[in-house]
């Protein structure tokens, strides 16, 4: 009797690519975010003192740079998400690496704030095309099991760059100049371009494999995790989607507002430039650990409860900064960094678990628009409040209140449910 024909095939997992390529992709995501996020959104404030000394800008004029980076990401990230769903992530990542190379190299020649603003627009485009959303979708498509841990490792790259680069950049500024430091940094995204070109694959199907944890005996029609999940219109109908969007806007306003001003705030409280750089390094080092450790918990504990606890901790950390007490500066930095590491990663774990990967580019892009809106307003408004009051106290108190609102919203995540279509 001839067996009935079907579309099931067994994947040969003896090849090293099938066994180890998910791990390679996971650490590739970490490397990409280390460079892209690290050199667009997390360590650029190390140059603040040098730029203020040379150009004599006001604090708010300086912080418009950071807001333009985030504002550009806000404007283009949904379009980037649409492109991800159409052409996948690799081509966008290559484009982002080129844009960042051009921006950093050109930064060494600026003579006015408007030139700096234009280059931060390029940085925003780089972030929108090769930053967190692209990395999240890339890594998620390679992992069915232990996705929380995999995303934690990958997203830790956003903080690892902030841990590694501040002391390096500071030493280059001291040894050479801030212009030379930018020129040196431009080598990194150029090298990243060739790494992505040669190593990164969009999905396991490109090497005839399956995602980590996928059944070896799989249907050809369901073998790709990128085909599973909700569409954007279906996600719009869920309460969870809008709660995540609004909470994302609040938390990104808070954290980016704090991080972009930690360096100058520390100097204002009596830190030397060198110690202020190390404080920034401490922040990103703790955030790195938080992203990995707390995201790992999402594979074993209730993700919504862990997220709310992190929101409470971030609120307490911002309150510590608002005291302007030198003895609270390091504890507030540690608490803020640890909680933000968890929040940042859990946003993405929640999004992928709730909505799947079918329209992940559009869905994550829309959510990131809200996050980028908060990140756009945070630095410049915090800088404006400082210019008006000559103190960070009121700015940090506002952030504390906003984090209180975010905490209240997060309490409703679980009530909204997973894939609720109401």
> What's the pLDDT score for residue 342?
86
pLDDT mean over 187-205: 93
Tell me the average pLDDT across 283-299.
80
Identify the weakest region by mean pLDDT among 123-137, 223-237, 273-287. Answer: 223-237
The secondary structure of 278-321 as a DSSP string is HHHHHHHHHHHHHHHHHHHHTTTS-HHHHHHHHHHHHHHHHHHH
pLDDT band, very low/low/confident/very high, at 16 (cuts 50, 70, 90): low
Average pLDDT over residues 33-41: 90
Domain boundaries, the chain: 14-204+224-416
Which tokens belong to 415? 């009530």
Mean pLDDT confidence for 227-250: 84
How high is the pLDDT of residue 228? 67
Reported pTM: 0.71
| pLDDT tens sequence across 384-393 | 898 888 889 9
Specify the pLDDT at position 217: 53
- The CATH T-level fold of domain 14-204+224-416 is Growth Hormone; Chain: A; (1.20.1250)
Quick: pLDDT tens for 124-160.
999 989 988 889 889 888 887 777 788 878 888 877 8
């Amino acid at each position: 009797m001839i067996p009935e024909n079907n579309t099931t095939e067994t994947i040969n997992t003896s090849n090293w690519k099938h066994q180890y390529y998910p791990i390679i992709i996971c650490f590739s995501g970490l490397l990409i975010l280390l460079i892209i996020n690290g050199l667009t959104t997390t360590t650029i404030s190390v140059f603040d003192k040098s730029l203020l000394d040379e150009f004599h800008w006001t604090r708010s004029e300086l912080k418009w740079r950071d807001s333009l980076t985030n504002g550009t990401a806000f404007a283009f990230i949904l379009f980037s998400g649409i492109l991800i769903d159409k052409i996948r992530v690799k081509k966008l990542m290559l484009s982002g690496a080129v844009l960042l190379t051009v921006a950093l190299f050109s930064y060494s020649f600026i003579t006015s704030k408007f030139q700096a603003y234009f280059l931060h627009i390029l940085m925003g485009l780089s972030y929108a095309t090769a930053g967190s959303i692209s990395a999240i979708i890339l890594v998620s498509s390679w992992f069915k099991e232990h996705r929380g841990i995999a995303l934690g490792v990958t997203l830790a790259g956003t903080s690892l760059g902030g841990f590694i680069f501040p002391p390096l950049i500071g030493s280059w500024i001291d040894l050479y100049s801030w212009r030379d430091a930018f020129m040196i940094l431009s080598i990194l995204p150029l090298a990243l371009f060739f790494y992505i070109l040669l190593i990164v694959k969009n999905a396991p199907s490109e090497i005839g494999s399956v995602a980590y944890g996928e059944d070896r005996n799989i249907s050809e029609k369901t073998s790709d995790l990128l085909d599973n999940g909700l569409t954007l219109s279906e996600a719009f109908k869920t309460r969870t989607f809008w709660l995540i969007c609004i909470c994302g806007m609040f938390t990104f306003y808070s954290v980016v507002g704090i991080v972009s001003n930690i360096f100058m705030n520390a100097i204002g409280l009596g830190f030397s430039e060198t110690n202020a750089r190390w404080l920034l390094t401490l922040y990103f080092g703790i955030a790195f650990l938080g992203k990995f450790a707390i995201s790992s918990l999402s594979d074993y504990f209730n993700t919504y409860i862990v997220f709310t606890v992190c929101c409470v901790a971030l609120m307490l950390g911002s309150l510590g900064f608002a005291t302007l007490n030198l003895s609270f500066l390091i504890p507030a930095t540690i608490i803020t960094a640890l909680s933000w590491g968890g929040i940042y990663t859990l946003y993405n774990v929640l999004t992928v678990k709730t909505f799947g990967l079918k329209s992940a580019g559009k869905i994550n892009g829309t959510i990131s628009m809200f996050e980028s809106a908060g990140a756009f307003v945070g630095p410049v408004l915090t800088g404006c409040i400082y210019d008006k009051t000559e103190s960070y106290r009121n700015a940090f108190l506002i952030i504390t209140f906003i984090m209180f609102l975010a905490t209240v919203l997060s309490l409703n995540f679980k009530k909204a449910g997973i894939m609720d279509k109401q």
